[in-house]
Structure 1
Amino acid sequence: MTDKQAKRSKFVVVGGGIAGVTCTEQFPSDQIVLLTAAPLIKAVTNFKQVSKTLEDFDVEEQPSSILQEKYPNVRVIQSAVRQLQAKEHKVQTENGEEFNYEKLCICTGGRPKLFTQDNPYVLGIRDTDSAQEFQKRLSTAKRIVVIGNGGIALELVYEVEGCEVIWAVKDKAIGNTFFDAGAAQFLVPSLETDKPERAVPCKRTRYTTDGANALSAPSGAFVISDRGVQNQALGSALGPDWHEGIKLKGAQEVSHRVHVEYQCEVQKIYTAEDFRLSQQRDSQPASEMSKVGLWPVYIQLTNGKTYGCDFIVSATGVIPNTEPFLHGNSLAVAVDSGLRVDDHMQTSEPDVYAAGDVCTACWEPSPMWQQMRLWTQARQMGWYAARCMAADLLQEPIELDFCFELFSHITKFFNYKVVLLGKFNAQGLGQDHELLVRCTKGHEYVKVVLSQGRMVGAVLIGDTDLEETFENLILNQMDLSAYGEELLNPNIDIEDYFD
């Protein structure tokens, strides 16, 4: 059989990120092919079930050979997908191979949504190579501009040292994706103070690509972002603990200097020469923030301010990686460009499934769940998609997994533990809700969302130890009207009370 002839496999998974690898791992005996664009895959390690729906785990970047050693039934092919022929149940790869499948799962994640393309001064953090490029550029930088208000931006502005950071956000408060203005106000002081020393360095092995296919594990290799950003052409997404055990330091002797510009976006980018000419043409002096030296690039914001900097980081979200699969097929695409999937993770093409950032959940969701393109949901979707593929092949019924009953997520921002539950930002509730808030400066921030006297969401920042109790109250929908503000009374041990 030549490489041009199609090879048959019961299951084919495309994508070496968390969703794809988790899906692949659920078939311990069936022959399965994993197609990945890079030699590195993402594996879940140190998994811990914190409560009914809350999960805590690490994401580790590994050579694909480790996956094959652990699961002899898995065959990993390092190649991007050129085309899907859904009617023929066939996938063609860029390296010329073809694979026939009975069931296919697309887990190709998303790529950075850069606000401008092909500008050498604008960097999008997407994979190991671009993360290393960021570290390299930062080492000689005196000022950078960060555009965006999601998970990557939140982590980035806090972790960078030795470099002034101008942070432009389009919202009235930082972290609008995760927090309300009250929580943002609780976190802002962390940007103005020196960071605490890290108690324990990260000791996990880091791998990176060296050339086209070689692997190495230098101490400087690192991974980034709380959400699964995967570029199908360039390699797997980057992990959630990028700042552990590495040095993100600029060229200055400052510890932590962040200036936030609110409610603004990028209007224009100038090279140093273009900016000088525009100032001469308009007969206007450069702004005080811009005329200190001649910066390589200048960025004009919609609030009228202009800043010079060494480079710009675009952290403005992701676009689902669907391109190789759409041509010639009838795959339905959602408004956010993700592949539409039903409650069995099936797309509109028979025997084609999707999981993680590349898909959009289009079933009628639980009142307490919403899709957010985060690591936790990538793992859950990959795991559930594998169960659905196996059940459908055996023509067995399967119910929607319990993990889709309640949105729940654990992460860390500004060195605080953060837990998000249910409709944590009152999503979709309109005016039909009330908020209870407890805040101790520098220690904890607790917000509860109530609708008709029942808890429907919560934000917990700091070591509150309330997550399991609040999870139960949201799931049980107990009427809490009688408790009023006493629900968050710090003198009442609410865990024991409701247990």
Structure 2
Amino acid sequence: MAGNTAFMIVGAGLAGAKAAETLRAEGFDGPVVLLGDERERPYERPPLSKSYLLGTSGKEQTFVHPPDWYARHGVDLRLGTAVTGIDPDGHHLTLADGSRHDYAKLLLTTGATPRPLPVPGADLDGVLCLRRLEDSDRLKETFRAASRVVVIGAGWIGLETTAAARAAGVEVTVLESAQVPLQRVLGREVGRIFAELHTDHGVDLRCGAQIARITGGDGRVDGVLLADGTRIEADAVIVGVGVTPNSGLAAAAGLDVGNGVRVDARLCTSHPDIYAAGDVASAFHPLLGKHIRVEHWANARNQPKTAARAMLGQDVVYDGLPYFFTDQYDLGMEYTGYVDPDAYDRIVFRGSTEDREFIAFWLAGRRVLAGMNVNIWDATVPIRALVASGQTVDERALADPEVPLDSLVRE
């Protein structure tokens, strides 16, 4: 490594682009190399299942930076470039073409990959997933041509693609193994609200469903067979059953991994010159006191800023609370905080769940673990303050819309 000053970033998505941006903003004037296996320059993923998929925003609006930003800021952006190996002690990377490249510091922003559905027929033509720009383009083409689709998995991706399909006039059946949509994330009480939202918009929602196989002829999907013998016809099947962190490079290099690449609060891995951020990072959170891995836009946008500063030797930690948002039909919501499944005692609602204008609070004891505002705006800041404070709250005041939220945070 003697004499080498290059900072290399593996993964040219939002997280990688924000890390490169921060390095330059913080005054680093050495070589910055951003490596990505996609052909597109870094882009943001939320529009792929929201505005871009709906056709209300264009492709250019998904990109993190204008085309000339990387050259103007001296960032060596290498697209269509796959990294095949890391030598932590030798401080070098190996690329798919066999070339070796030295680095001083390395950041892994390798993201995640959609989890395949482990049933016969999952490899048929017309079985789709959503992760990359080309996936969203293919879904748009499918919605224009198809009359009926099956969506497997009622998580965020499944429900957002369902809403886009219904907006395009496509009949949709959603198959979910849990008792309500989003049960693992939001619990049954709030999951029921999303179930009603979709059934109100004409979705055939089937919870507790078990998939036996995806059916088809001549290599093309034509339906889904359930374990109870029910067959549902479909012109296409969209699979959204979660993602797997792309931690294989880190594991092969001997770094500590476990549900992602494990990093400390500075986002440093088990090797002092290698960092990780975004979907792939299982980071120790100072406020929560444990490692968590968050697969949402805010993490990919904000974690790399901390990682870049830590790479420069600054005394920083990442303590931002998890945040995510969704837009489905006429429902928009923001969620702030973190709750393990079944780790809360109860949910307190403020506002009207029937009118879908409310805030839900997840509580353990009398402490707010997370809050979700639905069709109510300007609530994220006080919700974040309530969660971060760790203070106990008066549940009656919490549920009362007449009591300002920020008044519940004590100095």
Same fold? TM cut 0.5 = yes
> Which whole-Å CA distance do the structure 2 matches of 1:488 and 1:150 have between them?
27
2:124 corresponds to: 119
> Which whole-Å CA distance do the structure 2 matches of 1:134 and 1:417 have between them?
22
SS at match of 1:380: helix
1:408 corresponds to: 323
| Aligned pairs for 1:62-77 within 5 A | 65-72=67-74, 74-77=75-78
**Residues 18-67 of structure 1: per-residue CA shift (max 9 Å, x gap):** 1111111112123211111234233579xxxxxxxxxxxx9732688433
Give the letter for the 2:257 counterpart.
Answer: V
Of 323, 337, 340 in structure 1, the residue corresponding to residue 262 of structure 2 is: 340
* 1:102 and 2:71 matched: no
* 1:181 and 2:188 matched: yes
* 1:301 and 2:302 matched: no
**Residues 97-151 of structure 1: per-residue CA shift (max 9 Å, x gap):** 4310010111111111110453323112221222222222332212111111222
Shift of 1:75: 1.1
* 1:372 and 2:377 matched: no
Say which structure, 1 or 2, has more relative contact order (CA 8 Å, 6+ apart). 1
1:208 corresponds to: none
> Which whole-Å CA distance do the structure 2 matches of 1:149 and 1:365 have between them?
30
2:10 corresponds to: 14
- List gaps (5 residues or longer) in structure 2: 46-59
Structure number having the greater helix percentage: 2
Distance 1:124 1:414, change over 3 A: same
Of 176-185 and 346-355, deviating more is: 176-185
1:429 corresponds to: 343
* 1:314 and 2:239 matched: yes
| Aligned pairs for 1:76-475 within 5 A | 76-78=77-79, 79-116=81-118, 118-160=123-165, 161-193=168-200, 257-272=202-217, 296-327=221-252, 329-334=253-258, 336=259, 338-362=260-284, 366=288, 370-391=292-313, 398-403=315-320, 406-423=321-338, 425=339, 427=341, 429=343, 433-440=345-352, 441-475=354-388
SS at match of 1:468: helix
SS at match of 1:348: coil
CA contact (8 A) 2:286 2:319 kept: no
> Which whole-Å CA distance do the structure 2 matches of 1:62 and 1:493 have between them?
36
CA contact (8 A) 2:43 2:62 kept: yes
Distance 1:103 1:172, change over 3 A: same
> Which whole-Å CA distance do the structure 2 matches of 1:330 and 1:453 have between them?
42
> Which whole-Å CA distance do the structure 1 matches of 2:154 and 2:44 have between them?
26
> Which whole-Å CA distance do the structure 2 matches of 1:156 and 1:486 have between them?
37
Identity of aligned residues (%): 22
CA contact (8 A) 1:341 1:363 kept: no
CA contact (8 A) 1:340 1:360 kept: yes
Distance 1:471 1:326, change over 3 A: closer
> Which whole-Å CA distance do the structure 2 matches of 1:99 and 1:375 have between them?
30
CA contact (8 A) 2:221 2:235 kept: yes
CA contact (8 A) 1:330 1:349 kept: no
SS at match of 1:257: coil
SS at match of 2:213: strand
Distance 1:385 1:485, change over 3 A: same
CA contact (8 A) 2:151 2:237 kept: yes
SS at match of 1:473: helix
Shift of 1:383: 1.2
> Which whole-Å CA distance do the structure 1 matches of 2:162 and 2:143 have between them?
12
Q: CA RMSD in A?
A: 3.1
Shift of 1:498: 5.7
> Which whole-Å CA distance do the structure 1 matches of 2:198 and 2:363 have between them?
31
CA contact (8 A) 2:125 2:221 kept: no
SS at match of 1:179: helix
CA contact (8 A) 1:9 1:33 kept: no
> Which whole-Å CA distance do the structure 1 matches of 2:217 and 2:202 have between them?
24
Give the letter for the 1:488 counterpart.
Answer: A
> Which whole-Å CA distance do the structure 2 matches of 1:185 and 1:358 have between them?
30
TM-score (norm. length: structure 2): 0.83
> Which whole-Å CA distance do the structure 1 matches of 2:13 and 2:332 have between them?
24
Larger radius of gyration: 1
Distance 1:121 1:38, change over 3 A: closer
Give the letter for the 2:124 counterpart.
Answer: N
SS at match of 1:136: helix
**Residues 457-490 of structure 1: per-residue CA shift (max 9 Å, x gap):** 222211154332232222233332xx44243223
Distance 1:120 1:136, change over 3 A: same
CA contact (8 A) 2:149 2:238 kept: yes
> Which whole-Å CA distance do the structure 2 matches of 1:369 and 1:384 have between them?
16
> Which whole-Å CA distance do the structure 2 matches of 1:301 and 1:472 have between them?
45
TM-score (norm. length: structure 1): 0.69
CA contact (8 A) 1:7 1:99 kept: no
Of 395, 401, 404 in structure 2, the residue corresponding to residue 490 of structure 1 is: 401
SS at match of 1:448: strand
Give the letter for the 2:245 counterpart.
Answer: P
CA contact (8 A) 2:44 2:63 kept: no
**Residues 414-468 of structure 1: per-residue CA shift (max 9 Å, x gap):** 4323122224x564636xx333223422241322233332323222211154332
> Which whole-Å CA distance do the structure 1 matches of 2:405 and 2:300 have between them?
32
Give the letter for the 1:145 counterpart.
Answer: V
> Which whole-Å CA distance do the structure 2 matches of 1:453 and 1:460 have between them?
19
CA contact (8 A) 1:269 1:300 kept: yes
Shift of 1:302: 3.1
* 1:37 and 2:44 matched: no
Distance 1:362 1:452, change over 3 A: closer
> Which whole-Å CA distance do the structure 2 matches of 1:444 and 1:113 have between them?
33
